[in-house]
């Protein structure tokens, strides 16, 4: 096992050097991360898996490479395990897609809104919270209840300020029409 860990660390360092230099690899970065993550998971000598530790280590690698950490949600567990099995058989594409999706989700959910400020227009996905899902925000935007705009790319955008105003007005009674 120590030799496998040393080899894994060498692979991570090599990937880090390639990213730092801006060198192109044969695969997209999320696929390289999937391969490295899968190798770490396979070093674990027990049947119960190594998931939490492996995902924490993957987040450490991501942060050291200058990317945001990712979250694999409980609802994604089956897809994650299936992708991990496929990666174990040599196909890292599915796990790479899952990692890339998680990277994008975290950028939209945590990084973009904080970098943009409360009045800046960002994709609705960046404004989702426990109270309002993406579907709810999109529906409010389409109905004109949320100050939002749909770009030429089809993506709806709004601001944290507009969402807060929508939330405040959402629970107020609207005057009835007297017509």
Mind telling me the catalytic residues?
A: 44
- Contact criterion met (CB below 8 Å) for 143 and 132: no
- Contact criterion met (CB below 8 Å) for 80 and 23: no
Tell me how far apart the alpha carbons of residues 21 and 41 are, in angstroms, rounded to a whole number.
Answer: 27
Tell me how far apart the alpha carbons of residues 128 and 21 are, in angstroms, rounded to a whole number.
Answer: 35
- Contact criterion met (CB below 8 Å) for 124 and 146: no
Report in angstroms the alpha-carbon separations of 133 from 86, 103, 104: 31, 19, 17
26 three-state secondary structure? coil
| Residue partners of 28: CB distance under 8 A and separation at least 6 | 96, 100
């Amino acid at each position: 096992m120590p030799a496998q860990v040393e080899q894994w660390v060498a692979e991570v360092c090599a990937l880090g050097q390639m990213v730092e230099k801006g060198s192109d690899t044969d695969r997209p970065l999320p696929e390289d991360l999937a391969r490295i993550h899968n190798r770490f998971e396979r070093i674990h000598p027990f049947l119960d898996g190594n998931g939490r530790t492996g995902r924490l280590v993957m987040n450490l690698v991501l942060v050291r490479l200058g990317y945001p950490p990712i979250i694999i949600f409980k609802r994604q567990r089956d897809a994650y395990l299936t992708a991990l099995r496929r990666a174990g058989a040599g196909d890292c594409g599915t796990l790479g897609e899952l990692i890339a999706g998680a990277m994008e989700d975290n950028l939209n959910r945590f990084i973009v809104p904080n970098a943009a400020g409360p009045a800046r227009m960002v994709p609705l996905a960046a404004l989702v919270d426990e109270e309002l899902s993406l579907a709810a925000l999109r529906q409010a935007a389409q109905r004109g209840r949320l100050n939002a705009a749909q770009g030429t790319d089809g993506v709806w955008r709004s601001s944290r300020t507009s969402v807060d105003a929508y939330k405040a007005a959402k629970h107020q009674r609207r005057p009835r029409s007297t017509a």
